[in-house]
Structure 1
Amino acid sequence: MSETNGTTPTGADSGPAVPPRPDTPPLGPGAPQPPYSSWNATAPIPTGGAAFGYPSPHAPAPKKQPRRFGAPVLIGGMLAAALVGGGTAVATGYAVNASGPAGLTAVSGQPVVINNPENVTAVTAAAAKASPSVVTIEVSGGNASGSGSGIILDAAGHILTNTHVVTLGGEVANPAIAVRTSDGQVHDAKVVGTDPLSDLAVIKIDAANLTAATLGSSSSLNVGDTAIAIGAPLGLSGTVTDGIVSTLNRTISIASSAVPDAPAEGSQDSSDDEFNFQFPGQQEAPSGQGSIAVNVIQTDAAINQGNSGGALVDVNGDIIGVNVAIASASSGSTASGDSGNIGVGFAVPIDYAKRIANDLVAHGTATHGLLGVTVQAKAADTASGSTSFSVGAEVRSVSGGSPAEKAGLKQGDIITGVGDRSVEDSLSLTAVIREYAAGSQAKVHFTRDGQPQSVDVTVAEVTE
């Protein structure tokens, strides 16, 4: 549906609800591999590793004064993080040149020695645990080429990354992909599935002795928690940067990495925004390309071109997000390889990414929820009668036969939340509804005639 009277369509083309797909198995160390014939659809979805949690009272001190560990604690931490040797962590750096598949060449890695085991920080142990599960990805097709990062999901060789990495921002439909693992080996990869609406993708390599990542829980994060970005910025494999979780559930709009005629439901005119949100290294979106709305983790850990698809890690070395975008000033300057990182980076939360990855591995595609309403931002009421703050998404129209109509939503209702997430405008409503799988149930909170109400809605499926 096209925009009308300043409103923004949010799934107005909905039809009958699509039944949910059977639960797909979790990804992570020890997870069963396809075809998953014995998967128990009623079993809870594991996190791919140990239960998420922040150690107390052993949590790290603020970044400026990192916690230091004595030798006994260090040794135990190293064992947990799969470090090699007494007091020596082995990491590897590699060169990228024009030879080999998609420009990758494996070279001998040099061990990085921990010179002072008495003063190793928590970031050191977390990075050492997660780094073997992060790969460098080179993509080429036609006259285009680029690089990014990825996260090893299981021993079968499934790797989670961004759709914009494997399609070069929507430019390449049939890419040649090469993956360099942390041991310096280079492997050809094939695309298992892409999901432009979350900008996530899964590729696969055939390789032995892969180290699957431990997937954490983004729902357990706090603002201020340590965040560690691991990837290959500017092609520099195995790069680690650290910072904090700056905020949670930030809704941003980024270019769709699908073909230019992909739907852009829920997008808003961002010409007046102070910042643009874009893929690291992207100068501007291709002409005619749509946009997607995504809820993300914001971090000040440095994210640059090549970090896309890489890991955002917590202090335990568990994956909490998939690095996806950066912010740049709307004046046209970019926070990428030219002007550098400005400390505002974004990652797709791992809780959302796990669902998408499971669907892509099992089916090659993923589903997204559709509500079936057209909305606009509802301004907060003030004594002066004018404000730039919005407090919800006001329903302007409800599509006939849509999930919204079946649930009883009406024109004039102001949607203020979905589940435990707040809704401020059409963009945040679109982003949170898209996180639900087609056929699943979402609790929508709204006000009608000033009275708060809630209703359960079985969402339909977004179709292109």
Structure 2
Amino acid sequence: MSEQYGGTDGPQRPLPPQPPAPPASSNPASANDGSAGDSAHDRQTQQFPDPASPSGPAHPGAQPQPQNQPFYGSGQGQHQYGTPGYAPATASAPRRFGAGTLVAGMLLAGLLGGGVAVGADALLDNDSQASSSGQPRSVVVNNEDSVNAVTAAAVKASPSVVTIDVSASGGSGTGSGIILDDDGHILTNTHVVTLGGTVASPTIEVQDNEGRVFAATIVGTDPLSDLAVIKVDAPNLTPATLGDSDDLNVGDTVIAIGAPLGLAGTVTDGIVSTLNRTISVQSSAAPESESDGSGEDDGNGFRFAPPDGSSQSQTSASNSIYLDVIQTDAAINHGNSGGALVNTSGDIIGVNVAIASASEESGSIGVGFAVPISYAERVAQEIIRDGSATHGFLGVSVTPATASDSSTFTVGAEVAENPAAGTPAAQAGLKTGDVITAVNGIPVTDAQSLTAAIRMQAAGSKVTIDYARGTSTDSTDVTLGNSADQ
């Protein structure tokens, strides 16, 4: 008969013997200046090689049960930048803890005035048969003389990554999370703690790297970034060291750590495939609607599918959110949601959020996505401080840029009509026909990437917008409004 280890009610029971955790580098990277990630516990051991830079919505899975889900957005047409409305979602049918798939429609922006639509898996595992109980969660090192940068980074970061079990009367699932501080704040995805937008007050348990289990409560969720913060009351936590995702280069080695298919402590590696990729995923706070079960194919063999793994048509943009993400070929699977993407110094540089998949049941095909930690940390700290996060508002309707006699710029977001008086866009002097090409240096290739770039910024922040007017280029500084006020 199985026992619960490390519960909050009563004394904790020790887990069965596990392989000893390897020593951490005696030369860890410096923590960031924020409140998270600057108090990692010291670990004494033999020094590992200095992890230098490289030379060059997920849980255990069984067959998910269909449920009603919202439609996905096509991302076409004009977009007014503000906050979409959300309604309570209906809970899914009861499912056993474990694997399953939270799949979302995804739009890859970056082509001329448009995007390539593919299926995206938000990595929430439901009803899995796999179990990591009693299995090693620490990184095993058998030969300390041959430890490489990936191993050293995993040794440093893995104690800060946890497995999250979420259950409610309507279902259950598993994801991953990142310990932010000694107070027990843990960063994860909104779709993990809401089971893809189906529940508001679930039961949450967190299992740490040592196998201890603690009850957790939700501090706050932010559906527009698909990020959330939960909290545990636990001693001797190991906060993560947060890196700087703004320093990443394409080709950098990165390591994904989490609980794919419920297998806690799994480490995979790859490279940064591209930066500033815009994807569209279903909002985890969106209302649900009936699925016709047919699904949509983008012509390239990829399918759109909702969080429970059933098929669904791609007809509405109202339930979609747009994220500017890191793309990686490190293997990411169901259950990795909310887990860490780290650099070779063992610093967190991203929060795993989605994968592209050829079907609702397929796993990693080498196209995974993570929310940059520079964005995720800002959202997390606002949630911890205020219970919610803010997002910028520009106040402009745009369409994909098109070739015309008056302009040679065909990549960007073209202002469709003069902005309303008093909006940040109007105050910045933007006019009909202007083609916005960048926000704070982040390329804008279409309406969706502009949405993502603006919403990455906090309300009230000042940004620089590059734009083309006719055959000339210019830039303007603008103070963003608050999307929640629109």
Deviation at 1:423, TM superposition (A): 0.7
Amino acid at match of 2:36: L
1:125 corresponding residue in structure 2: 152
Hey, what's the Cα distance between the residues in 2 that align with 1:273 and 1:403? Answer: 39
Gap change, CA 1:280 and 1:306, over 3 Å in 2: farther
2:106 corresponding residue in structure 1: none
2:329 corresponding residue in structure 1: 300
Of 428, 438, 441, 2:462 maps to: 441
Amino acid at match of 1:344: V
Q: Deviations over 1:200-256 (max 9, x none)?
A: 000000000000000000000011111100000000000001111110010010110
Gap change, CA 1:172 and 1:404, over 3 Å in 2: same
1:144 corresponding residue in structure 2: 171
Hey, what's the Cα distance between the residues in 1 that align with 2:308 and 2:328? Answer: 18
Counting matched residue pairs gives 365
Deviation at 1:404, TM superposition (A): 0.5
Gap change, CA 1:277 and 1:214, over 3 Å in 2: farther
Q: Deviations over 1:29-63 (max 9, x none)?
A: 249xxxxxxxxxxxxxxxxxxxxxxx99954445x
Hey, what's the Cα distance between the residues in 2 that align with 1:340 and 1:282? Answer: 12
Contact 2:53 2:345 (C-alpha < 8 Å) held by counterparts: no
Of 27, 34, 37, 2:36 maps to: 27
Contact 1:277 1:327 (C-alpha < 8 Å) held by counterparts: no
Gap change, CA 1:129 and 1:157, over 3 Å in 2: same
Amino acid at match of 2:476: V
Q: Which has the higher contact order (CA 8 A, sep 6+)?
A: 2
Hey, what's the Cα distance between the residues in 2 that align with 1:111 and 1:408? Answer: 55
Deviation at 1:272, TM superposition (A): 4.6
Secondary structure of 2:155's counterpart equals: helix
Secondary structure of 2:416's counterpart equals: strand
Deviation at 1:26, TM superposition (A): 3.1
Q: Deviations over 1:75-132 (max 9, x none)?
A: xxxxxxxxxxxxxxxxxxxxx889xxx9999647587652322222111110010000
1:202 corresponding residue in structure 2: 229
Secondary structure of 2:377's counterpart equals: helix
Hey, what's the Cα distance between the residues in 1 that align with 2:332 and 2:132? Answer: 24
Amino acid at match of 1:419: N
Amino acid at match of 1:441: K
Matched, 1:363 2:386: yes
Matched, 1:134 2:157: no
Gap change, CA 1:376 and 1:411, over 3 Å in 2: same
2:421 corresponding residue in structure 1: 400
1:221 corresponding residue in structure 2: 248
Hey, what's the Cα distance between the residues in 2 that align with 1:57 and 1:154? Answer: 23
Gap change, CA 1:110 and 1:412, over 3 Å in 2: closer
Secondary structure of 1:379's counterpart equals: coil
Alignment of 1:19-418 (within 5 A): 26-30=35-39, 58-61=52-55, 107=134, 109=136, 113-260=140-287, 272=298, 274=300, 275=302, 282-284=309-311, 290-329=319-358, 333-334=359-360, 338-379=361-402, 390-397=410-417, 398-418=419-439
Secondary structure of 1:405's counterpart equals: helix
Hey, what's the Cα distance between the residues in 2 that align with 1:210 and 1:162? Answer: 20
Deviation at 1:141, TM superposition (A): 1.2
Residue identity (%) = 59
Hey, what's the Cα distance between the residues in 2 that align with 1:309 and 1:457? Answer: 32
Q: Deviations over 1:359-378 (max 9, x none)?
A: 00000100000100110111
Gap change, CA 1:378 and 1:271, over 3 Å in 2: farther
Hey, what's the Cα distance between the residues in 1 that align with 2:463 and 2:165? Answer: 38
Hey, what's the Cα distance between the residues in 1 that align with 2:248 and 2:304? Answer: 23
Hey, what's the Cα distance between the residues in 2 that align with 1:113 and 1:56? Answer: 18
Deviation at 1:447, TM superposition (A): 1.2
Deviation at 1:283, TM superposition (A): 4.4
Gap change, CA 1:130 and 1:286, over 3 Å in 2: farther
2:67 corresponding residue in structure 1: none
**Structure 2 unaligned residues grouped into runs of 5+:** 1-32, 41-48, 57-96, 100-126, 289-295
Gap change, CA 1:376 and 1:112, over 3 Å in 2: closer
Deviation at 1:379, TM superposition (A): 3.1
TM-score when normalising by structure 1: 0.72
Contact 1:161 1:308 (C-alpha < 8 Å) held by counterparts: yes
Deviation at 1:402, TM superposition (A): 1.0
Hey, what's the Cα distance between the residues in 2 that align with 1:405 and 1:308? Answer: 39
Amino acid at match of 1:27: A
Gap change, CA 1:234 and 1:373, over 3 Å in 2: same
Hey, what's the Cα distance between the residues in 1 that align with 2:164 and 2:297? Answer: 33
Hey, what's the Cα distance between the residues in 2 that align with 1:112 and 1:220? Answer: 26
1:452 corresponding residue in structure 2: 473
Hey, what's the Cα distance between the residues in 2 that align with 1:285 and 1:308? Answer: 21
TM-score when normalising by structure 2: 0.69
Of 450, 474, 480, 1:429 maps to: 450
Q: Deviations over 1:132-186 (max 9, x none)?
A: 0000000011221100000000000000000000001100111110000011110
Hey, what's the Cα distance between the residues in 2 that align with 1:196 and 1:370? Answer: 16
Secondary structure of 2:268's counterpart equals: strand
Hey, what's the Cα distance between the residues in 2 that align with 1:392 and 1:348? Answer: 22
Secondary structure of 2:350's counterpart equals: strand
Gap change, CA 1:112 and 1:328, over 3 Å in 2: closer
Q: CA RMSD in A?
A: 3.2
Gap change, CA 1:133 and 1:242, over 3 Å in 2: same
Hey, what's the Cα distance between the residues in 1 that align with 2:307 and 2:253? Answer: 22
2:83 corresponding residue in structure 1: none
Hey, what's the Cα distance between the residues in 2 that align with 1:341 and 1:110? Answer: 21
1:78 corresponding residue in structure 2: none
